[in-house]
Amino acid sequence: MKFWQKKKKIAPSQPKHLIGTDPKSDLKLLIETCKKNLHYVNTQQVSTAFHWCLRAHKNKMRKSGVPYYSHPFSVAMILTEEIPLDDRSVISALLHNIPSSGELYSLKDIQSEFGTTVAEIVSGLVKIQHIEEQSIRQLENYRKLLLSLFRDVRIILIKLADRLHSMRTLDYLDEETQKRISKETMEIYAPFSQRFGLGNLKWEFEDLAFKYLEKETYNKINKILALSHEEREEYIEHFTKPIYSAIESDSYLKKKNVKYEITGRAKHIYSIYNKTILRNKPVEELYDLQAIRLIIDSDETEICYRIHKIIAQLYRLVPDTYKDYIAEPKPNGYQSLHFAVYGKAEKMVEVQIRTQNMHFIAERGVAAHFNYKRGLLPAQSVLDDNTFQSWIDLVRLVFEHIGDEPPEELIKSVRKNLLQKEIYVFTKTNEFRVLPNDAYPLDFAYSIHTEIGNHCIGAKVNGKIVPLDYKLQSGDQIEILTSQTQSPNKEWLKYSITDKAQNFIKKYINDEKRKALENGRELFKDSLNTLNISLNDYQIDLLIKHLHFSNLEEMLLDIGSNKIDRLLLLNSISNWYESNYASLKKNKRKEKEKTHFSRKSKSFHFDSSLPIKYAQCCYPLPDDEIIGILSEQMEIIVHRENCKKAGSELAENKSSVFNLEWSSLAAGTYTSKIAIRGEEIPSLIGDISSMVLSLDNTSIKGFNFDSDDKGFKGYILLSTESSAHLNKIIEKIGAVDGINYAERYIEE
C-alpha cells in the first residue's frame, strides 16, 4: 500500500524574492501564481491592474520603507496562494487602494476598464476602508456597518487578505496603533474568518493580535514552545509509528490501496493561552500540546471511520472528546473526525481524520468553492448557486453572533431582529450617522439640523445628485442641497421614515396651516367689510357650499394660503350675495359680474366664483394661449392650448372646455417647470441655483434629478411671472457650462 511520508506542516508560501525591489519580477511572479492556482486568468487585465497600481502609488512608501504598491501586490498574492479566488478578486486587490489614494483613477475609470464586477468589489472595499478611518466606538455598530456592505462574498474575503498582510507587517507602526488594529482583528476579523471556514487565517489573526495585545505573555509561551519543539517532534514520531504499521497491515485498507499522510499539528499560541486560563495552569504544566492530522486521498468517508477504529485499538480514548463533523458538518461546511487519545506517559494527543477534499475546504473555506482542485468552478457559478447562497446568508450573521451558537438560534435571531434594521452613513465631513433601513435624504437632512431639513431640495450621494425619493445605503457619504425658498409639504411625508423627520415636517405643515387659517380669517373678514356685507353663521354655510368648499376651515385655508385670488374672492362673494340677498339689483349686477366664454359648438356664461387652478401637466403662464376645463369637482383647470392632456379630455367630452383670456384671470406669480440634462459636474446644481436665485421675481420651489451614465437629467420647479420671463431663465440656464439642454416642460 502506498502512502505519503510524514512531513512537517509548511507555513503559507511567500515570494522567494524581496517584494518591491523589481516590479517586473513581481508581476511575473503574480501571473505565474495566478496561472498555477486559479481556474482562469485574464493576464492582460491583471497586468493592466498591476501597472495602474504602480502609477497610482508612485513615490509612496510604507512605514517599513518599501514601496507602497507592495501592499496591494501582497494582498493579491494571498488571494492566489492562501485564499485562491478568481482573477476578478486579484484585480480588485491590486486596485483596492487606488480610489482613495488620489485623483489619478476613479471608480468610473475602473468600471470602464475592468467592468462592473470589479468596480463594485473595489467600491465595497473603499467603503470598508473609509469606515475603518471613522471613530466608531461601539463594536456592535462597527460589525453591523461592515455587514451591511457585504454584498459580494469576495469583498470580505479580499478584506480578510488585506487585513492579514497588514497584521504581518504591523511591527513598523507605533504601539498604540498596533493595539488598536490588533483589538479590531481579534474581535472582528478572527471570528469572521472562522465562520468562513478559514481556520488558518483565524489562528494566524489570533496569534498575531495576541502578540501585540499581550506581548509579555506571548513571548513567554513562544519561548517555551521553541524549547520543547524537538521533544514534541520526537514524541509525535514515536506516537505515529504504531499507527503507520496498523494501517499498513489492515486488510480492508490494503484492498482500497489508500494513500494518506500523517502530520504533526502545531498548537497555536493563543489557543494555548486560553487553555492556561481555562485550566488555571501555567504553560509548563500543559501536557496536551501534541496533535496530529491524518488526511486520506479518497472520497470514501468510511475509510475515516476505519482509521479511527484502528487508532482507538492502539490508544485509550479520552472520554467526551469524540466529535463527528463528517456526519454533521459545521455551518461553514467544515468536515472532520475529532477525538483525543492518551499516548505514552499519559500525555493527551488530539487527532483529526479527514479526506483530502474535506481538508481543502477546511483550509480554504469559502475560497474552496472558487477554485476546487477536483473540479474547478467559476466564481460566478458559485455566487449564483442557491445552496451556496443559503450558506453565505448564514455566514452573514457573524457580526451579530461572535460565539458558537447553533444555526437554528442564529436564524431565529435574524427573523426577530432583521439584520438590515439600520444603515450607517456619513456626512460630507465624515461624521457618522445611524438611520433606519430604507431611509431617504430628508431623514438624513433632519438628523443634521431642522433648518437643513426644512430647506432640502435634494442631495448628493457619493458625489452624485439624487432625488428626494432615493433610498440611502450603508456607507453612503451624503451632502444635502438646500434653498431658502424651499419648504416642507405633504409629499415629503412619503419620502421620510424617521420619527424626527416626520414630526418636523408635520409640525411645519401644521404651523403653516395655523398661520394660513389666521390669515384667511382676517382676509375673509376684510373682504366682507370691503363689500359692506354682514353674514350670519347660516349665510356663511351657504356661501361655503356655493364656493364648493366642504367646511369653513377648508375655505379659510385656501384664502389664507393665497390659493384664491383676493379680487376673485370679492367678485365671488359679491355675485353670490346679490344673487340671493339683493333681488332689486340682481339682474343688473349679475350681467356686470359674469364673464363670457365660448366654445365652437356652444356659448357659456361662467360664474367667476368657481375656483381656478393651473394644470401641472403643462404649467400655463401669462402670454400663453390657454383654455379652461370645467372639472367634475367644479373647478376651472387652466391648460396651455397645445397641451395633449387637455386635448384628450376635450375629445372624451368629460368636461366643458372654454376659451380663456389672461385678462379675465387674476395676476400673480405662477409655477413653471424646466426640463434639464447636463454633465455630472459636482458644482453644477449649485451654479444653476445661484444663477436662478439672482434673477428678479424668481424663486426655486424644488429639484428632482437622477444620475445616469450620460450625466444627470431632471426638472426644476420655479416661481415665474410669464412665459417671456421663463424663456429668459431657460436661456440663462442653457448658457451654464455643463448643461446639454434646458427646455420648458410639457407632459407628453
Q: Coil, helix or strand for 474? A: coil
User: 693 and 648, same structural domain?
Assistant: no
The answer on pLDDT for 185 being more than 60 is yes
**Residue 20 per-residue DSSP state:** T
User: Does some domain include residue 411?
Assistant: no
User: 373 and 230, same structural domain?
Assistant: yes
**646 or 16, higher pLDDT:** 646
List % helix, strand, coil for the chain (3-state, nearest 5): 55, 15, 30
**475 or 612, higher pLDDT:** 612
The answer on pLDDT for 408 being more than 70 is no
Which pLDDT tens digit goes with each residue over 157-176? Answer: 899 999 999 999 999 999 99
**225 or 480, higher pLDDT:** 480
The pLDDT of residue 287 is 52
The pLDDT of residue 442 is 94
Which distant-in-sequence residues (6+ apart) come within 8 Å of 186 by Cβ?
Answer: 205, 206, 209, 210, 213
- Using pLDDT thresholds of 50, 70 and 90, give the confidence band for residue 567: confident
The domain spanning residue 485 has which CATH number? Answer: 3.10.20.30
Range of lowest pLDDT (70-74, 632-636, 669-673): 632-636
Residue pair 90/44 in contact (Cβ under 8 Å)? The answer is: no
- Using pLDDT thresholds of 50, 70 and 90, give the confidence band for residue 377: very low
User: 490 and 373, same structural domain?
Assistant: no
The answer on pLDDT for 405 being more than 80 is no
Which pLDDT tens digit goes with each residue over 81-125? Answer: 888 888 999 999 999 988 766 668 888 899 999 998 899 888 888
**67 or 682, higher pLDDT:** 67
Q: Rg of the Cα trace of the chain?
A: 38
The answer on pLDDT for 23 being more than 80 is yes
CA distance 308 to 303: 9
The pLDDT of residue 161 is 93
1-15, 156-170, 365-379, 716-730: range with highest mean pLDDT: 156-170
CA distance 184 to 182: 5
The pLDDT of residue 341 is 92
Task: Please list the residues that pair with 264 across neighbouring strands.
Answer: 292
- Full 3-state SS string of 23-52: HHHHHHHHHHHHHHHCCCCCHHHHHHHHHH
**646 or 74, higher pLDDT:** 74
Mean pLDDT of 317-339: 86
The answer on pLDDT for 392 being more than 50 is no
User: Does some domain include residue 281?
Assistant: yes
What's the pTM value of the predicted model, to 2 decimals?
0.50
User: 324 and 236, same structural domain?
Assistant: yes
CA distance 472 to 435: 9
User: 351 and 241, same structural domain?
Assistant: yes
The bridge status of strand 711-720 relative to strand 670-678 is antiparallel
Range of lowest pLDDT (144-158, 227-241, 277-291, 408-422): 408-422
H/E run at residue 125 = helix 116-132
H/E run at residue 171 = none
Last residue of a domain, one of 627, 645, 667: 667
User: Does some domain include residue 342?
Assistant: yes
Neighbours of 330 (CB within 10 A): 16
**Distances from the Cα of 219 to the Cαs of 116, 400, 481, in angstroms?**
47, 33, 56
Residue pair 220/172 in contact (Cβ under 8 Å)? The answer is: no
User: 230 and 196, same structural domain?
Assistant: no
The pLDDT of residue 586 is 44
Task: Please list the residues that pair with 719 across neighbouring strands.
Answer: 671, 699
What nine digits make up the cell of 514? 395655523
Mean pLDDT of 330-349: 85
User: 236 and 192, same structural domain?
Assistant: no
Task: Please list the residues that pair with 674 across neighbouring strands.
Answer: 716, 744
**Distances from the Cα of 657 to the Cαs of 12, 330, 398, 504, in angstroms?**
83, 75, 66, 42
User: 260 and 203, same structural domain?
Assistant: no
The domain spanning residue 329 has which CATH number? Answer: 3.30.460.10
What nine digits make up the cell of 450? 431642522
- Using pLDDT thresholds of 50, 70 and 90, give the confidence band for residue 454: very high
CA distance 397 to 211: 28
Give the whole-number percent of the chain exceeding pLDDT 70: 78
User: Does some domain include residue 471?
Assistant: yes
Which distant-in-sequence residues (6+ apart) come within 8 Å of 689 by Cβ?
Answer: 457, 481, 483, 700
Range of lowest pLDDT (97-101, 140-144, 740-744): 140-144
CA distance 698 to 459: 22
User: 451 and 315, same structural domain?
Assistant: no
User: Does some domain include residue 556?
Assistant: no
The answer on pLDDT for 613 being more than 60 is yes
What nine digits make up the cell of 435? 438611520
The domain spanning residue 39 has which CATH number? Answer: 1.10.3210.10
Range of lowest pLDDT (114-118, 328-332, 656-660): 656-660
The bridge status of strand 456-461 relative to strand 477-482 is antiparallel
Last residue of a domain, one of 167, 182, 212: 212
Mean pLDDT of 524-537: 86
The answer on pLDDT for 409 being more than 80 is no
Which pLDDT tens digit goes with each residue over 205-243? Answer: 999 999 999 999 888 888 877 767 778 788 888 999 999
Range of lowest pLDDT (180-194, 589-603, 642-656, 687-701): 589-603
Range of lowest pLDDT (64-78, 576-590, 707-721): 576-590
Closest CA to 89 of 54, 117, 110: 117
Alpha helices in 549-623 (DSSP H): 552-560, 566-581, 586-593
The answer on pLDDT for 383 being more than 80 is no
DSSP readout, 401-448? --S---HHHHHHHHHHH-GGGEEEEEETT--EEEEETT--HHHHHHHH
The pLDDT of residue 222 is 84
What is the distance, to the nearest Å, from the Cα of residue 292 to the centroid of all Cα atoms in its chain? 44
User: Does some domain include residue 580?
Assistant: no
Domain count for the chain: 5
The pLDDT of residue 250 is 92
The domain spanning residue 732 has which CATH number? Answer: 3.30.70.260
User: Does some domain include residue 364?
Assistant: yes
- Using pLDDT thresholds of 50, 70 and 90, give the confidence band for residue 331: low
Burial class (CB in 10 A: 0-12, 13-18, 19+), 422: middle
Last residue of a domain, one of 382, 408, 440: 382
Task: Please list the residues that pair with 434 across neighbouring strands.
Answer: 424
User: Does some domain include residue 408?
Assistant: no
H/E run at residue 612 = strand 612-614
**711 or 250, higher pLDDT:** 250
**609 or 38, higher pLDDT:** 38
Residue pair 714/706 in contact (Cβ under 8 Å)? The answer is: yes
Give the residue numbers spanning the domain of 722. Answer: 670-744
The pLDDT of residue 415 is 33
CA distance 635 to 610: 6
What nine digits make up the cell of 149? 456592505
User: 738 and 692, same structural domain?
Assistant: yes
Output phi, psi for 434, to 5 deg. Answer: -110, 125
User: 659 and 717, same structural domain?
Assistant: no
H/E run at residue 494 = none
The answer on pLDDT for 635 being more than 60 is yes
Range of lowest pLDDT (448-462, 526-540, 676-690): 676-690
**402 or 681, higher pLDDT:** 681
What nine digits make up the cell of 90? 486579484
Task: Please list the residues that pair with 597 across neighbouring strands.
Answer: 604
The answer on pLDDT for 715 being more than 70 is yes
What is the distance, to the nearest Å, from the Cα of residue 154 to the centroid of all Cα atoms in its chain? 16
The answer on pLDDT for 333 being more than 60 is yes
The answer on pLDDT for 73 being more than 90 is yes
- Using pLDDT thresholds of 50, 70 and 90, give the confidence band for residue 245: very high
The pLDDT of residue 497 is 86
**Residue 653 per-residue DSSP state:** T
Which distant-in-sequence residues (6+ apart) come within 8 Å of 271 by Cβ?
Answer: 203, 206
Residue pair 366/153 in contact (Cβ under 8 Å)? The answer is: yes
Q: What is the mean pLDDT of the chain?
A: 78
Burial class (CB in 10 A: 0-12, 13-18, 19+), 413: middle
What nine digits make up the cell of 198? 478559514
User: 468 and 364, same structural domain?
Assistant: no
